[in-house]
Amino acid sequence: MEKIGVFICTSCDIGNRLDIAELENAARDQGAVAVYSREFLCSKEGKAFIEEKIKENGLDAVSICACSPRVNYDVFDFGNVAVERVNLREGIVWSRFLLGEGGEILEDTADYIEGVPFKNELMALAKDYVKMGVAKLQVYKLPEPFKPEEEISKTILVIGGGVAGLTAALEAANAGYDVVLVEKEKELGGFVAKMKGHCEVKHPFKNIVPPIVDELISQVESNEKIKVYKKATVASISGMPGLFKVKINVDGKEEEVKIGAIVLAAGFKPYDASKLDSLGYGNIKNVVTNVQFEEMAKEGKFIRPSDGAPIKSVLFILCAGQRDENHLPYCSGYCCLASLKQAKYIREADPDAKAFIIYDHMRTMGIYENFYKTLQDDPGVFLTKGKVVEVSEGEDGKVKVIVEETLLGEKLEINVDLVVLAIGMVPVTAEGPVLNLEYRQGPGLPPDELELFYGYADSNYICFPYETRRTGIYAAGAIHQPMTIAQAIEDARGAALKAIQCLVAIEEGHAVHPRTWDFAYPEFDLKMCTQCKRCTEECPFGALNEDEKGNPLPNITRCRRCGTCFGACPQRIINFKDYSIEMVGNMIRATEMPEQGYGLYRLMAFICENDALPALDMAALQRKSIPVTFRIIPVRCLGAVNVSFVKDAMSKGYDGILLLGCKYGENYQCHFIKGSELANRRMENVAETLQQLALEPERVTLYTVAIDEVEEVIKKMNEFNEEIKGFEENPFKGW
C-alpha cells in the first residue's frame, strides 16, 4: 500500500498515559503520509472524521491506533480501504504498569531499570506498535474473493435416510435448495422405522408416540426438490465444496452428480453384544439386547425366546458394555430413556407384569425427566442403582440376576423371565469410510479423529459442534455423537443450515469456516517448491491434494485459512495477500532495539487470536499487568507461525520469543484442530535455528492456555520474562 494514514485515538486513557505527539512522529518516520489524532475514533463523529481524511488524502490503507481488534471491528470498516488495528488500549495502557513489591501499581515516572524511567519504556513499546502497524500495511494487499471458473452447485447431498437425514433433507428443501438423499437400505427410515414407538419429541415429554419417521418419509418422498436413491451408496467424492463430484452406486450402476455441500447422517450400529457374554448374552437364551426387545415389541410378541412362554417379568441392565474401557468408554445417551420406554411397553401389554431397571447412573436429558417420573410413579416398575455381578440360568427357564451396591445397601437376587441389555451406539464411521473421499489425506475422516471421538464424525466439540474436519461436510444425528431422536432432529436442522451457510460463503467468495470474514486464501509460488509435502501432510482439513510430482494442488473452498500450510513451508513459498512472510518480517524489522548493555530486554510474543488474544484482552479489562518488555504479534493460529519469524526476531536482537496458543491433546481447544500441536513439533527446527545463531534453546518457549485462563496467561508471561533475564542479552542486539 502506498498511501497509508494513521489515526490515533486519545480516549480511554491513551492520551493520559502516552505522548501522542511522539506516536505521530513515529508513524511519519515509518512512512505514513497522513497522521491524525483525536478522541473517540469509534464514535459516529470519529468514523466520519476518518472517512473524510481518507477521501481528502486519497488513502488506500489506514492504521487505527486505538482499542483491541476484537472490538469495534464493524465500526472500522471503510470498504476497499485496508485497515490495520493497533492495540494501544488493551495492549498497552490497560495492561502495562510498573508494579511495586506488593503488586501495587506505581507511577509511570518511577525508575525501572538502570535509571531509565518506566515512561520511556512504555513509550518505546507504543512507538514500536505504531510502526509495526504501518510496516504491515506497506506490504499488505487487498484480498480478492475466490470465484471458481466453473459454476458452483447449490445442491445438497444427504447421506443417510434415518430421522436425521430425512430432517436435514426437508429443512434444506424447504429453504429452497435441491437435495439428493442416498440411503443404503431398500427403504427409508433407518433404525427408528423398526421401532414400536418412541418418547414424544415435544412437550410434555411424558408419553410414547408412533415413530415420527413415518411422517418424515411421506414428506420427503412427496417433495419435488428431493431426489431419493435407495439401496445406494456413495462410491466416491472428489472436488471441493461447491464443486463436489459425487459418484453414487445404485443397482450396480454409477451415477455422477454435482454437489455443493454434504450432510453426513449415516447413523449408527448397535454395539456387538456377543462381547457381553459375562452378562449372559449368547449363553442364556432369555438374555436379549434392547434392539431385539424393540423388535419383539413391534411384533406384539412378548414371549420368552427359550420356550415361547409369556413374559411376566423383565430386568433391564443399563450401561451394558458402556462407560467401560473394555467396551465403549462413553455414554450412549439414549439407553436410559429407551429402557424406561421398554419397561412401559411391558407394563401396558400386561398390567400384572413387572419391570426391574438396574442402573449405574440414570440419565434422561433435559425435560425427559418428565418421562422418568412417570415410570417412578408406576408401582410395577422397580428402579435401583446397583452393580450386576452375576447373570445365570435360573429355575423354570428364568434368569437369575445378582445385584450388589444397591441404593438399599442390600445384595439382591432377582429371578425374571427376560433380561434386556441396554447396549450402546457405535457410529458407522468407526467401521470404515462412508464418504469415500478422493483426498490426498484419505477416503474418510482423519485417523486421529477416531482416537478423539471413538469414530464419531465430530471436529471441534467445544467451538464448532456441527463441523467435521472436511470443509463443506457436516455431521448430523448418531454419526455425530450419541443422541436421542429429539436431539437428532435438532442436530439435523443445524447441519442443514451449516450446509446452506457453506454454499452462501462459496458464492460470496470468502472462507467457509471459521474465518468466515476472510477473503484471502493461500497462494503458492511453485517455482521454489521442493515437494517436501509438509503442507499437504499437515493441513488439518485436507485442503491440499498433490500432483504426480508431489506439488501441492490447492482446493480453495476446502481451505479454512488457518495458515498451517504457511507455517509448515520451509521454502516460504506460501503466502496470503493479508498475511505473509514478508509482512511479519517487516513488522519485526520496524521495531527499535536498544543498545546492548543497558539491561533493556526485548521479548516477542506470537499469540493465537482465538484463545490467547482474548485472554490477554480480558486481563487488560481487569487491569492486570504484563511485562513492558513484550511486543505482541497476533497470529491466526500457532500452526501459522513459520520458523522464519523466529529467525527474523532473534536476528533483530530480541532476547526471547514466546508462543502462546490453544491447548492440544485430550482437552484440545484449537480452532484449527492441531495448530499448537504442530507448532510444538516444529520447535525442533527452532532449536536448530537457535543453535545456528549460537543462542540458548530456552529463549524460545511455547505455552498453551485456554481462553478463560487469564491468571495463567499473566503468570506464564511473567515467568518467561524472568527466565530470559537470567540469560545475557541477545548478542545480535544493536547490530
Distance CA(731)–CA(622), nearest Å, equals 36
* Pair 555, 641 in one domain: no
CATH number of the domain at 471, please. Answer: 3.50.50.60
* Pair 294, 418 in one domain: yes
* Pair 38, 124 in one domain: yes
Mean pLDDT of 43-50: 97
DSSP 635-670: ES-GGG--HHHHHHHHHHT-SEEEEEE---STT---
* Pair 643, 722 in one domain: yes
What percent of the chain has pLDDT above 70?
Answer: 97
Please say if the pLDDT value at position 352 is more than 90.
yes
Helix (H, G, I), strand (E, B) or coil at 427: strand
The answer to whether residues 617 and 68 touch, using CB atoms and an 8 Å cutoff, is yes
Distance CA(527)–CA(453), nearest Å, equals 40
Whether residue 23 is contained in a domain is answered as yes
Considering the chain, what is the average pLDDT of its residues? 93
* pLDDT classification of 616: cutoffs 50, 70, 90: very high
Angle, nearest 10°, between helix axes 118-138 and 20-30? 30
Distance CA(23)–CA(134), nearest Å, equals 12
What percent of the chain has pLDDT above 90?
Answer: 79
CA–CA distances in Å: residue 663 to residues 70, 72, 199, 496, 639: 21, 27, 39, 30, 12
* pLDDT classification of 207: cutoffs 50, 70, 90: confident
Residue 632 pLDDT = 98
The answer to whether residues 260 and 242 touch, using CB atoms and an 8 Å cutoff, is yes
CA–CA distances in Å: residue 247 to residues 37, 194, 252, 546: 60, 29, 12, 21
Nearest one of 360, 362, 363 to 404, comparing CA atoms: 360
Whether residue 579 is contained in a domain is answered as no
* Pair 419, 561 in one domain: no
Mean pLDDT of 35-63: 97
Whether residue 380 is contained in a domain is answered as yes
Please say if the pLDDT value at position 624 is more than 60.
yes
Residue 7 pLDDT = 98
The answer to whether residues 430 and 454 touch, using CB atoms and an 8 Å cutoff, is yes
- Side-chain-facing half-sphere of 350: CA atoms under 13 Å: 15
Residue 432 pLDDT = 81
Answer with the one of 142, 169, 190 that is the final residue of a domain.
Answer: 142
The answer to whether residues 214 and 208 touch, using CB atoms and an 8 Å cutoff, is no
Residue 160 pLDDT = 97
Q: Cell triple for residue 482?
A: 450419541
Residues 325-334 have pLDDT tens digits of 899 999 998 9
Mean pLDDT of 390-411: 92
Least confident residue range of 259-263, 450-454, 488-492, 616-620: 450-454
* Pair 280, 409 in one domain: yes
DSSP 28-66: HHHT-SEEEEES-TTSHHHHHHHHHHHHHHT-SEEEEEE
Query: Looking at residue 150, what DSSP letter applies?
Result: S
Residues 6+ apart with CB under 8 A from 578: 82, 140, 141, 142, 143, 520
Burial annotation 186-195 (CB, 10 A radius, 16+ → b, else e):
eebbbbbbeb
CA–CA distances in Å: residue 166 to residues 35, 170, 212, 490, 688: 59, 6, 11, 12, 55
* pLDDT classification of 670: cutoffs 50, 70, 90: confident
Residue 582 pLDDT = 96
Please say if the pLDDT value at position 687 is more than 70.
yes
Residue 74 vs residue 106, higher pLDDT: 74
* Pair 43, 65 in one domain: yes
Residue 463 pLDDT = 76
CA–CA distances in Å: residue 365 to residues 335, 509, 532, 603: 11, 40, 50, 50
Residues 722-734 have pLDDT tens digits of 999 999 999 888 6
Domains: count for the chain: 5
Please say if the pLDDT value at position 156 is more than 70.
yes
pTM metric for this prediction: 0.92
Whether residue 513 is contained in a domain is answered as no
* Pair 415, 435 in one domain: no
CATH number of the domain at 531, please. Answer: 3.30.70.20
Mean pLDDT of 602-625: 95
* Pair 7, 133 in one domain: yes
Phi then psi for 629, rounded to 5 degrees?
A: -70, -20
Residue 452 pLDDT = 54
Residue 691 pLDDT = 82
Extended beta strands in 179-319, E state: 179-182, 198-199, 208-209, 226-229, 232-238, 244-250, 253-259, 261-264, 268-270, 287-289, 313-317
Angle, nearest 10°, between helix axes 643-652 and 581-590? 20
Mean pLDDT of 597-605: 91
Please say if the pLDDT value at position 448 is more than 60.
no
Phi then psi for 7, rounded to 5 degrees?
A: -120, 120
Mean pLDDT of 370-399: 94
CATH number of the domain at 677, please. Answer: 3.40.50
Whether residue 182 is contained in a domain is answered as yes
Residue 449 pLDDT = 53
Whether residue 585 is contained in a domain is answered as no
Least confident residue range of 21-35, 95-109, 191-205, 600-614: 95-109
Residues 6+ apart with CB under 8 A from 113: 121, 598, 599, 600
* Pair 230, 364 in one domain: no
Whether residue 584 is contained in a domain is answered as no
Q: Could you tell me the residue range of the domain that residue 434 belongs to?
A: 156-269+427-508
Rg, Å, the chain Cα set: 31
- Side-chain-facing half-sphere of 560: CA atoms under 13 Å: 26
User: Of the spans 29-43, 325-339, 442-456, which averages the highest pLDDT?
Assistant: 29-43
Mean pLDDT of 598-626: 94
* pLDDT classification of 336: cutoffs 50, 70, 90: very high
Residues 6+ apart with CB under 8 A from 662: 608, 610, 611, 612, 637, 638, 668, 669, 670, 671, 675, 676, 704, 705, 706
* Pair 294, 411 in one domain: yes
Phi then psi for 136, rounded to 5 degrees?
A: -65, -45
Answer with the one of 453, 484, 508 that is the final residue of a domain.
Answer: 508
Please say if the pLDDT value at position 458 is more than 80.
no
* Pair 602, 718 in one domain: yes
Please say if the pLDDT value at position 447 is more than 80.
no
The answer to whether residues 690 and 699 touch, using CB atoms and an 8 Å cutoff, is yes
Whether residue 655 is contained in a domain is answered as yes
Answer with the one of 401, 423, 445 that is the final residue of a domain.
Answer: 423
